[in-house]
Structure 1
């Protein structure tokens, strides 16, 4: 763990960060600052954990590891989402060792203390008659399901603004029916880079036209440009984007979908952004030239040409919701220079693999994009460890990277 001087060092470095510039090398390379990130960021804020679709039935669970913390996210017998410390109240044994599964009760493998999926203790062998079962239930963790997405917070007093954020987000998510969706596929990759570099890379598409050819068959690389900033080489693409944006606005009106983007990426504990952008080509999905990938649409969506509803949540997640499927991303730090990126594809619960969709086609674009991003992040990690690295200024189209770094610095200053 960190030394006594580390919080002061971290706060001092945060205070030195120049507005509009990147972070200094220790933010990406220092084991002590990494430990502080686990404490101040992942230990104090709402973290995206799983999609509700990963735990569809009572007894279904997923374990989430955040540094030294392990959390069980489980659906109880009343179909509520619960979260508990993955630690037995007897002698501290880890309760569930696998990443996911289904159980009737939670049974400690050491001495068989047994808990219901609501966390209550129901069996503890050889205890005195005066033993009070109700005092030794599993330790709960703050958990919230928002529109089919499950967030947890390890802090005793989580950021209070999450209620406000939830109310803003849920109307956008509701039409997609995420809570009752089906998991079509899930992949894990480990990127040899600091978690902040993973998030920074995601927060811009400045690199997309050079690095993501598969993604650009459907995804406009100029959605964040103002008209006067579009470079000549992208002018025709920008005009096509404006036409698609007009069609998307009409599709929203038909079903009464919320109109207007929301950007609150900094200045508050629970930073987020939600935006609804058209897709290129056929405008339906991430298939070749924007073609639809699943025959059955999500939730109550009626028009396949419904673009990409994109949600960014600080500090560890981003999401893409389309008419025919959703793609959910979570970022979990593993070490100062190693990060787990988990990608989950969701489809309509009635969609049949091999009939309505193929896993290969559904996942092709983002599997390629994830691998391309992995290479970019790993190259940047090598660069920031070089003695010649000096933080540079962000471009005019990297505002969301600046917002992420600004949010991070603000949260460090607030909690250090």
Structure 2
């Protein structure tokens, strides 16, 4: 059973439009970007940059869009909207994952209109052209004898799975470095067996901000101590700090972190589970970071006391105290793999000032709701954290829309924000190059 939970409150909104009416020269703004500083306002507010981001970032790189448990059976599908693109993800009859452009080869109608569901074949509601799950055209009425169905299948989108995560690339020439990344990340994901889980809950939250603000906010914990009381019950607030920069008030938390890390490293070593960080956040197309890290409190899961949210542990784990395997990919996704559940996050741009943040919780496929887990407890920490982050992003969108906005410098513990923005600028420079 999948529990879909609405957000408890809406993110901050503004009473004025936040897109600019003045012409914007993206190439000039990219060229004058000041390293170590936030981007200028038009990067977050202009239609020119939004369209450029779709073309240069979301249509050219590997984008996380869903998990295999979201389409568990043949015929199960979801549709994904990325700017002007609509993509169907569907489980085919052989159990594989297919990604197809949601555009009928007759006159261009959307084939599937629902966000998710299950079908036998893909039937366009306009003129009933019918396609198989792999995109082959099966039926097109009233065509001449010379009509060749083999020439009019749905156009395919590149798709890859990695430890149960589904990535797509809209480009006909996807970045080839995904193979290298997958080879190194797969051993971290494998013990959790995500493909053997089920979706326990999913929440869609539309944040009133540009997708880059959503991701920048996610890539630092400078704001966590004051901004996320539920999260910091288990998430050490020293994240991102170098040892010499940890404020005195956080030293007790750092001492707990060191003890918890020592315990986690012993547990991982005994079980042959990798835990060391791999961090390649810029200088490559498929940029990423992965590391298994300790949790505070009981050290088991993202709950207010740190204890497991599901009695039924994933795979064949023999202990819930295995910390959190944290993974993120540029440009739009982050993940937490725990012993008792997995949480996935994807940020999909809707408009210059609106971003869909989809959070999905996975538990063991044999876990029973109300017996092994309570959906409210399972989702509590990240529902609250997402809503808080939505408010921060909304306030920032309003601020960067002001003529008074001037980019400020990043703090040292915001180095991952700087890396994200630097990666983004690298990709725009490649796209804009003659």
Q: Structure 2 CA distance, aligned partners of 1:309 and 1:206?
A: 21
Q: Deviations over 1:111-139 (max 9, x none)?
A: 11111101111111111222111111110
State the match for 1:15 in structure 2: 31
Gaps spanning 5+ residues in structure 1: where? none
Choose from 85, 88, 91 the match for 2:104: 88
Mapped contact 1:194–1:333 kept (Cα < 8 A): yes
SS at match of 1:289: coil
TM-score, length basis structure 2: 0.93
State the match for 1:275 in structure 2: 291
Q: Structure 1 CA distance, aligned partners of 2:281 and 2:56?
A: 18
1:55 Cα deviation from its structure 2 partner: 0.4
1:403 Cα deviation from its structure 2 partner: 0.5
Choose from 342, 347, 368 the match for 1:352: 368
Mapped contact 1:56–1:180 kept (Cα < 8 A): no
Q: Structure 1 CA distance, aligned partners of 2:304 and 2:209?
A: 30
SS at match of 1:290: coil
Q: Deviations over 1:290-313 (max 9, x none)?
A: 111100111233321110111111
1:251 Cα deviation from its structure 2 partner: 1.0
Choose from 32, 51, 56 the match for 2:48: 32
Q: Deviations over 1:126-185 (max 9, x none)?
A: 112221111111100011011100000111101111111111111111111111210000
TM-score, length basis structure 1: 0.97
Q: Deviations over 1:286-343 (max 9, x none)?
A: 1222111100111233321110111111111111111100110000111100111000
Number of equivalences: 410
Pair 1:128 & 2:153 matched: no
Greater Cα offset, 237-246 or 122-131: 122-131
Ranges of 4+ aligned residues in structure 1 off by more than 4 Å: none
State the match for 1:250 in structure 2: 266
Q: Deviations over 1:59-83 (max 9, x none)?
A: 1101000011000001100000010
Q: Report the aligned-residue RMSD.
A: 1.0
Gaps spanning 5+ residues in structure 2: where? 1-22
Pair 1:385 & 2:385 matched: no
Q: Structure 2 CA distance, aligned partners of 1:183 and 1:162?
A: 26
Mapped contact 2:292–2:323 kept (Cα < 8 A): yes
Q: Structure 1 CA distance, aligned partners of 2:374 and 2:177?
A: 40
Choose from 317, 321, 328 the match for 1:312: 328
Mapped contact 1:297–1:348 kept (Cα < 8 A): yes
Q: Structure 2 CA distance, aligned partners of 1:399 and 1:334?
A: 27
State the match for 1:221 in structure 2: 237
Mapped contact 1:148–1:179 kept (Cα < 8 A): yes
Q: Structure 2 CA distance, aligned partners of 1:225 and 1:297?
A: 32
Pair 1:321 & 2:337 matched: yes
1:259 Cα deviation from its structure 2 partner: 3.4
Pair 1:76 & 2:76 matched: no
State the match for 1:178 in structure 2: 194
SS at match of 2:255: helix
1:93 Cα deviation from its structure 2 partner: 1.1
Q: Structure 2 CA distance, aligned partners of 1:377 and 1:110?
A: 40
Pair 1:299 & 2:331 matched: no
State the match for 1:334 in structure 2: 350
State the match for 1:167 in structure 2: 183
Mapped contact 1:55–1:62 kept (Cα < 8 A): yes
State the match for 1:118 in structure 2: 134
**Distance 1:302-1:11 versus aligned 2 partners, 3 A rule:** farther
Mapped contact 1:62–1:72 kept (Cα < 8 A): yes
Choose from 66, 77, 83 the match for 1:61: 77
Mapped contact 1:223–1:277 kept (Cα < 8 A): no
Q: Structure 2 CA distance, aligned partners of 1:259 and 1:218?
A: 18
Q: Structure 2 CA distance, aligned partners of 1:136 and 1:222?
A: 55
Choose from 389, 393, 403 the match for 2:419: 403
Greater Cα offset, 291-300 or 274-283: 291-300
Q: Structure 1 CA distance, aligned partners of 2:220 and 2:314?
A: 27
Pair 1:97 & 2:143 matched: no
Q: Structure 1 CA distance, aligned partners of 2:78 and 2:156?
A: 15
Mapped contact 1:185–1:345 kept (Cα < 8 A): yes
1:225 Cα deviation from its structure 2 partner: 2.0
Mapped contact 1:146–1:166 kept (Cα < 8 A): yes
Q: Deviations over 1:202-247 (max 9, x none)?
A: 0001100100000111111113222211110001110010000000
1:16 Cα deviation from its structure 2 partner: 1.0
